[in-house]
Chain A
Amino acid sequence: MGKEEKKPKEKPTLSFDYFNETRLGVLALVVGVIIAIVPFSASLPAVVKGIGAMVVILWGADSVRKTAGHGLGTGVPSIGVLAVGFGLVGATTGMAIGSAAYDKVGPIGILGVLAGVALMAVVGYVTGVLANSDKFIGMKIPGLERGMAELAMAGTLAIILECSIVAGTWHLDDVIVSDNSISPVAFIAVIFIMVGFGMLQPLNSSMGADERRGRTLLMAIEIGGINCVILGVVTVMSLGVVQGALLIMLGAIVWVIFYRAYVKACLEESYEVVGTGLIKTLGG
């Protein structure tokens, strides 16, 4: 069993090389959008949406790495929270437009949710331009415009998918008012913080001169797994035991595999792993 678990560790390392920043972004955008616009009548199980959320969080973490990797040391958590902030605004907009369009014109109106994603792409890009431009803040961080746009889109898709996991669909009637004893929107705090951590912690915790993209992104998937476990517990309450238990199982498996892979990669790639020892006394 221990041998078999080694394989998944190799796979993501290899696949991250293929999925460079652009390819990963396109993949996550496509997966996230497809899962978001599946008709309500054929509502996907929470597990599929959980996988979608993982991919989108991975994209967000990669965008944070891209944006904050240029010496924004203490800014990494801020960039991650900025992404979720964009996400909350975009998701609320998208879900409101999508729900209204669905009620007016029927199933095709579901596409309205993409208005939120598109809006945040524009807002994110403009933010990047304002921050980088000499006329305004003049931060001159390479690739900030693209990074901000990607962050905003990833945050929006993640929040939409996670609201949809908890409430069954992202229709505002389901998200805000519910037949259950409590409205799913009560859990917006946990969605906010888990998506935020999925995006900000990988770079923040792997930072250093010898940071490696393949290793950093392993942690994003690991947090995606924890995210699925927590949302699974909530889903047991809101959608029933079957949906919730499947989501918890998926999350637990993903978490065990990628936690092992990440810690192993770190121990292997560090300068030295010692049980204990004294420090080298350099400079007295």
Chain B
Amino acid sequence: MPVISLFAWMLVIVSLAFIACMFEDLESDIGSQSNPNSQIQLAPEMGYIHRYFNKAISGEGLSYALACTISGTIALVLLLRLEPTSGPKAALLAIPVGAAAGSILYMIRASVCHVGREAGQKRFEQPIYLDVLYGHLVPIATHNFIVVICITTIAYIQSNLALLSGMEASAASVSNPFPLPLLCLIWGITVGAIGSSTGDIHYGAERAFQDKPFGEGRRVVYHGQICRYGDCGVRTSKDVVAFCAKFGGPATGLTFGLIVLFENWRTVIGMMLGGLSETELVNPDIAAGYGIGIGIAVGIVLIVLNTWLVKWTRKKYGPFVGE
């Protein structure tokens, strides 16, 4: 039974990862962070005054590492204080309070970078629209809160997996040895990186530059030519979210969810084949070997599927410009 509950916790982590990365992508669209940000930044220089939110905290990976690490730190401090008296229940208070601290800090960072960047474009006559500034901060904080609370929960589950699945005797091989803030840092960088690599393409290609030819990167002559008008009136970053929530966000969440699923699944299967029981892991070498083997097999299958997909797409919609 405890070994089965390991699988159950793995699926909890996967679903949390799915939600986290979906909201991460949507949050990064409120304010055009990461890749599309360079075009938003260039637009006024090219004469395209806009009403987008210019959120240049840094790349998504680092800014999410910041929010998640602060959350993990505050949560760990609270856990250390409360766990001796109230036991594992302390997590019910520590994780949300930590996540709130992380997302408030994130909102503060977002507020300074919008005014900072717009003030740096004085000579291109880009004004600061106060409604754009105020109107975006709360959506940024709320979307960020969902991400941070999911990531902190994942880190908490990982570092207390033995306790949660009733396998305290083999805690050394089941629970993650890293402290909570460090796990949050690693997961924060990961969720930001996946959100940036998968989600930006959708946002950039379909919302910011709608006239992009198939398969082409953004030509230098068109730099800064972003799509500034919405379905009705002038577009702000908030309007992009409703659009990206239909496909881009869930697709990004699926990417991250699948990565976490495959990664944990191969580890747990490997540990089962290595003779994991309630009390001990009989053969760690076999566990590691099977884990690596399954991982390589999954990688090969994914490479083959992706190659086939790219070939099919080029044939159907191509050719690429310059081919």
Which residues from A are CB-within-8-Å of B45? 209
Q: Which among A194, A201, A208, A259 has the highest number of chain B CB atoms within 10 Å?
A: A208
Q: What's the dominant secondary structure at chain A's contact region?
A: helix
A210 touches B70 (CB 8 A): no
Partner of B69, one of A77, A190, A219: A190
* Contact digits for A255-276, partner B, Cβ 8 Å, 1 yes 0 no: 0000100110111011111111
Partner of B122, one of A192, A259, A271, A277: A271
Contacts A209-B120, A271-B125 given: A266-B115 contact, CB under 8 Å? yes
The verdict on B218 contacting chain A, using a C-beta distance below 8 Å, is no
The verdict on B191 contacting chain A, using a C-beta distance below 8 Å, is no
B72 touches A280 (CB 8 A): no
* Cβ-closest chain A residue relative to B51: A279
How far does the Cβ of A252 sit from chain B's closest Cβ, in whole Å? 13
The verdict on B306 contacting chain A, using a C-beta distance below 8 Å, is no
Which residues from A are CB-within-8-Å of B118? 266, 270
The verdict on A173 contacting chain B, using a C-beta distance below 8 Å, is no
State the interface size on chain B (CB cutoff 8 A).
Answer: 56
The verdict on B266 contacting chain A, using a C-beta distance below 8 Å, is no
The verdict on A197 contacting chain B, using a C-beta distance below 8 Å, is yes
| Partner-binding segment picked from A118-126, A136-144, A155-163, A229-237 | A229-237
| Partner-binding segment picked from A22-30, A36-44, A180-188 | A180-188
Which residues from B are CB-within-8-Å of A196? 62
The verdict on A15 contacting chain B, using a C-beta distance below 8 Å, is no
A263 touches B111 (CB 8 A): yes
For chains A and B in complex, what number of residue pairs have CB atoms within 8 angstroms? 181
| Bound form: Cα–Cα A77–B179 in Å | 25
A210 touches B128 (CB 8 A): no
* Cβ-closest chain A residue relative to B66: A193
Q: Which among B119, B122, B130, B184 has the highest number of chain A CB atoms within 10 Å?
A: B119
The verdict on A164 contacting chain B, using a C-beta distance below 8 Å, is no
Contacts A208-B41, A210-B120, A237-B81 given: A270-B184 contact, CB under 8 Å? no
B113 touches A189 (CB 8 A): no
Which residues from B are CB-within-8-Å of A187? 73, 76, 179, 181
B130 touches A274 (CB 8 A): yes
A276 touches B62 (CB 8 A): no
Interface residues of A in 208-256 (CB under 8 A from B): 208-211, 215-216, 219, 222, 226, 230, 233-234, 236-237
B127 touches A271 (CB 8 A): yes
Interface residues of B in 33-60 (CB under 8 A from A): 38, 41, 45, 47-51, 56-59
Contacts A187-B181, A204-B58 given: A209-B124 contact, CB under 8 Å? yes
The verdict on A8 contacting chain B, using a C-beta distance below 8 Å, is no
* Contact digits for B123-142, partner A, Cβ 8 Å, 1 yes 0 no: 11111111100000000000
| Bound form: Cα–Cα A169–B184 in Å | 26
B62 touches A205 (CB 8 A): no
| Bound form: Cα–Cα A222–B113 in Å | 13
Which residues from B are CB-within-8-Å of A274? 127-130
How far does the Cβ of A284 sit from chain B's closest Cβ, in whole Å? 10
| Bound form: Cα–Cα A279–B48 in Å | 9
Which residues from B are CB-within-8-Å of A77? 58-59, 62
Contacts A189-B72, A209-B124 given: A280-B49 contact, CB under 8 Å? yes
**Top 10 A-B pairs, shortest CB-CB distance:** A208-B120, A205-B113, A186-B179, A77-B58, A266-B119, A272-B127, A266-B115, A189-B181, A189-B185, A206-B116
Chain A residues with CB under 8 Å of chain B are 73-74, 76-77, 80-81, 181-182, 186-190, 192-194, 196-197, 200-201, 204-211, 215-216, 219, 222, 226, 230, 233-234, 236-237, 259, 262-263, 265-267, 269-280, 282-283
* Contact sample, A vs B, 25 pairs, CB 8 Å cutoff: A80-B58, A181-B80, A189-B69, A193-B62, A193-B66, A197-B58, A201-B57, A205-B116, A206-B120, A208-B41, A208-B122, A210-B119, A226-B108, A230-B74, A233-B73, A237-B80, A263-B111, A265-B119, A267-B115, A269-B119, A269-B122, A274-B127, A275-B129, A279-B50, A283-B48
